[in-house]
Amino acid sequence: MTAASHTDETDRALLDRIRAGDRDAFEVLVRNKRQQAFRLARRVVGQDEDARDVVQLAFLRVWRKVGSFRGGSEFDPWFHRIVVNLAIDFVRRESARRRSQTDWAGEQARAGGSGHRALPAVLQLQEVSRIFDELSACLPPRQRAIFVLREIEGMSTDDVAKVMGIRLSTVRNHLFQARTTLRRALQARYPEYVPGGKEEKP
């Protein structure tokens, strides 16, 4: 059976196949989940290449641990927890090393996609990504991960607590701290992006 024929299968069906050692099913799962996993990892580790490494390792861990995954549970929170924990571990290990900002223009050029047609959106994304990387660098990795899950990925506080394996009150505390820090930093450094602040950027 080809990998393409698996695309409509549910996570659970894919996981059953993966448990049986089906590598095609595993590749389908990777394709289905890699973008969101990348976004999570990218916002926590701050670098494209590092995020891709984290995603690769997360999928390898899924392959190894799929036997211990309870069939009745949802796959996404379990998988997101793996990704976030690996990303946080990575940031802690690398914290001594100051890394440069991602060269988004270079990424787009290397990707060779239809960057010209989507130029305004790409530019906006680049700019926002740069600002987020800059401002969130002062957040502890766990706090950053919670903010990303809640405010960027749009998860409920309950789901964030499940992914992080912590209590709701802890999630809210971290979220409160992260929001306060980011809001102040945004107001101080980029008031043009704050409603009611200076003039909007074109």
Partner 1 sequence: MSSACEEFRKLYELEVSDELTARQFVRLDRHRDACPACRELAQQTEPLRLFQVLAQDSRDDGFWMGTNRALRTGISEEGRLGPGESLLLLRPVYRVALAAVLVLALGLLAAVLSPSLELPTPEPSALMVMGMAPGEVMLPTVEFIQSENARVYEMKVFGEQDQVIQVVMILDDGIDL
Among 23, 65, 92, 167, which residue interacts with partner 1 (rule: CB under 8 A)?
23
Distance CA 168, CA 181 (A): 20
187 binding partner 1? (CB under 8 A):
yes
Shortest CB 8 distance to partner 1, Å = 20
Question: Cβ closer to partner 1: 72 or 201?
Answer: 201
Question: Cβ closer to partner 1: 110 or 116?
Answer: 110
* Interface segment toward partner 1; rule CB under 8 A; list 6-14, 69-77, 119-127, 138-146: 119-127
Question: 75-113 in b/e burial notation, b at 16+ Cβ within 10 A?
Answer: bbbbbbebbbbbbbebbeeeeeeeeeebebeeebeeeee
131 binding partner 1? (CB under 8 A):
yes
Query: Which of 52, 45, 60 lies closest to 91 in space, CA to CA?
Result: 45
Distance CA 179, CA 170 (A): 14
Query: Which of 105, 5, 123, 97 lies closest to 45 in space, CA to CA?
Result: 97
Interacting residues with partner 1 (CB under 8 A)? 23, 26-27, 30, 34-35, 38-39, 42-43, 48-50, 52-57, 59-60, 63-64, 86, 90, 107, 110-113, 121, 124-125, 128-129, 131-132, 151-154, 156-158, 169, 172-173, 175-176, 179-180, 182-184, 186-187, 193-195
